[in-house]
Amino acid sequence: MLLLAAAWLCIIGGLVQTGSVFLQANPEEYRCKNYIDETFPNQSDYSSGAFASTLTSCKKWNIDWETECSESVTLEDYEKCFEQKDLANSADCSVCSGLSSVLSPQLL
């Protein structure tokens, strides 16, 4: 009987511990690193380079930036090119590969 009571307390304690972890967890916002982040490492941050990453579960546009926006020089030029050519609706997307290709506002 004592063993059964001890086991029951362990189960309840485990549920309380697990429940507290789940209740305090919140999903982290993230996006894939993209061509803009690599081309302008000192100018782009999480929000300024976000246009080159998707907001869907894909997270990364498959855009050949050098071909599509060949005359772009600055970060703003690339963003204008992206909007003018409507690349968000013409390009396909893919998932990030590996943790080194992920950006999070908490990591910056």
Percent of all residues in the chain with a pLDDT value above 90, rounded to a whole number: 21
67/63 Cα distance (integer angstroms): 9
Counting other chains too, the contacts that 14-22 makes at CB distance below 8 Å and 24 or more residues apart are none
Element (H, E) at 86: none
Residue 6 located in a structural domain: no
Residue 88 located in a structural domain: yes
Tell whether the model's pLDDT for residue 108 goes beyond 60.
no
Q: Which domain holds residue 84?
A: 31-103
Residue 82 located in a structural domain: yes
Residue 39 located in a structural domain: yes
pLDDT tens-digit map of 34-62: 888 888 888 877 788 888 888 776 778 88
Task: Tally the domains of the chain.
Answer: 1
Q: What is the pTM of this model?
A: 0.65
